[in-house]
Amino acid sequence: MIIRSPHPEIAVPDIALTPYILRHAERLAAKPALIDGLSGRTLTYGEFARAIRSTAAGLSDRGFSAGDVFAIYAPNCIEYAIAFHAVSWLGGVTTTVNPAYTADELEHQLKDSGASRLLTTPELMAKAEPAAHGAGISEIYVVGEAEGAIPFSDVSKSDGDLPAAIVDTAKYTVALLYSSGTTGLPKGVMLTHQNLVANIEQTAAVGVYGEDDVALCLLPIFHSFGLQVLLNVGLAAGATLVLLPRFEIESFLAAVEQYGVTYTALVPPIVLILSAHEAVDRYDVSRLQRITCGAAPLSAAVSRACANRLGCAVEQGYGLTETAPVTHVTIPGRNVEGKIGPLAPNTEAKIVDLVSGESLGANSPGELWVRGPQVMKGYHKRPEATAAMIDGDGWLHTGDIACVDDEGSFAIVDRLKELIKYKGYQVAPAELEAVLLTHPSVADAAVIPSPDLETGEIPKAFVVVRNPVTAEELMAFVADRVAPHKKVRRVEFIDRIPKSPTGKILRRVLVEQERLALATTI
């Protein structure tokens, strides 16, 4: 049974991403488009459009052209938006990098993506410079000033005004975001102009937010959730976006009050904090109307507690980096706690039995498959991984176990995929296992998600040792080699890692043991 969206079909315009984003810029020239939530620095839509064109001209003058790859390794800032859309304007590709990445992790992504330029900040130069050197990056740009880098403001000083590149919207990749898919190490997700424009239109058609809104962009722009649901959807709608580089409860609440924020998108750990933190009582958050929560499951209890505390709607959505990212979105005013809502316009789904492969009907759990114009072009340089994720009929196999009710509203009930979702960030067990196996005292290792109230899940390692070693030593060893969100936070020593006859780690066995062990302690 194919499940279809309850929304009417929409026409997806055949237009490149940035001209599409800027189609209201002249009409809204004097309206604030981007505000730095800490400093108050503001760019109007007119200034933003001019900055994109002048930066594109400056990059072109320096030899950057269509098809080239530009990496951004920075927290949320106004320059992030300018750089992304200047590259898009030229027909280039932006690969976004988690600013918490180590130099080695950054270098890996730079090499894999084929990036030739890198934008970063002074605070990250100590990691960016050696990574860029190792990856053969031709130029490093920096927001502000730093030794060894070209000030990004110098690139934006060009007097040129290049027309937007002519691109095949269905074929040209505009964003190369890294995701682990269902398993393994991070892979580059190739999202085309058509993917992003389609998903903006799909989200906008449901009325998530619009021109009259002030949206707080706290979620990192390097992630598809922040890039699309906040930055691009907001700009395309003509909303005002307030950017924050990181979550701190006081600065978050101060920005909501100062700028009259009406909408934001968050991840479950932040929703949990807002539901109970005493600082909420010191700020006026009365203009905040709606919060969309995604990237990881949100319990009905936490959703209800946050909604009551802030006096606003807290709704869920669902998607993947591979779907640009939205496939399900709650209709405003029709929130069902614990549900991710119905399908977005122009999107189809199946619930597939895990054993027989047959399509199931309502109220029967199975793997969620989705199909629509937002589904990625594929994984960068990984055709086998692409074929494993998207079948010959265009169905993307999400790896999540879902259930749909009689009204067409979905709920995620479990996950086939082996990814760990720590505060909404994806952590690949295979990557941590590879690090652990380099320790001289480790004979074998497996990493699984361990449930955690505050973060959703944390990486837990099961370790077989060859020499005496403590859990603390192993956790410190891993922490020195990975980004903070990837740290192993629990270790259990065991005699043998369960594996299949072909040598595949049976993580499901360990997950079930972990759930049983936790249940007996409650």
Q: Which residues is 193 bridged to in the sheet? A: none
Using the predicted structure, report yes or no on whether residue 284 has a pLDDT greater than 60.
yes
Q: Compute the distance between CA of residue 512 and CA of residue 518 in angstroms, rounded to an integer.
A: 10
Helix (H, G, I), strand (E, B) or coil at 349: strand
Phi/psi at 4 (nearest 5 deg)?
A: -115, 155
pLDDT score, position 181: 54
Whether residue 78 is predicted with pLDDT greater than 90 in this model: the reply is yes
Read off the pLDDT of each residue in 489-516 and give the average, rounded to a whole number.
86
Q: Please give the single-letter amino acid code of residue 212.
A: D
pLDDT band at 507 (very low <50, low <70, confident <90, very high): confident
Give the C-alpha distances (Å, rounded to integers) separating 59 from 27, 55, 268, 520. Answer: 27, 6, 38, 60
* Distance, CA of 451 to CA of 337 (rounded, Å): 20
Which whole number is the average pLDDT over 270-283? 93
Percent helix, percent strand, percent coil in the chain, to nearest 5: 35, 25, 40
Instruction: Give the pLDDT of residue 346.
Output: 98
State the Cα angle at 125 between 122 and 126, rounded to 5°. 130
Q: Distance between alpha carbon 511 and the CA centroid of its chain, in Å?
A: 25
The answer for 91, left when phi > 0, alpha when psi is -120 to 50, beta otherwise, is left
Q: Angle at the Cα of 234 (from 97 to 374), degrees rounded to 5?
A: 65
Instruction: Note the pLDDT tens digit of each residue in 389-418.
Output: 999 999 999 999 899 999 999 998 877 777
Claim: this prediction has a pTM higher than 0.85: yes
Residue with tokens 């949990």: 272
Asked if 349 and 329 touch (Cβ cutoff 8 Å), the reply is: no
Q: How confident is the model at residue 184 (pLDDT cuts 50, 70, 90)?
A: low
Three-state secondary structure call for residue 216:
strand
Confidence band, pLDDT 50/70/90 cuts, at residue 68: very high
Eight-state DSSP code of residue 12: P
The reported pLDDT for the residue numbered 158 is 75
- Output the CA–CA distances (angstroms, integers) from residue 199 to 6, 17, 149, 153, 240, in the order listed: 16, 11, 35, 31, 20
Confidence bin at 180 (pLDDT 50/70/90): low
pLDDT at 144: 96
CA 195 – CA 208 distance, rounded (Å): 18
285 pLDDT above the threshold of 70: yes
Task: Report the b/e string of 260-273 with b at 16+ CB within 10 A.
Answer: ebbbbbbbbbbbbb
**In contact, 90 and 65? CB cutoff 8 Å:** yes
Q: What are phi and psi of 470, to 5 degrees?
A: -95, 160
Mean pLDDT confidence for 331-347: 89
Q: Element (H or E) spanning 266, and its range?
A: strand 263-266
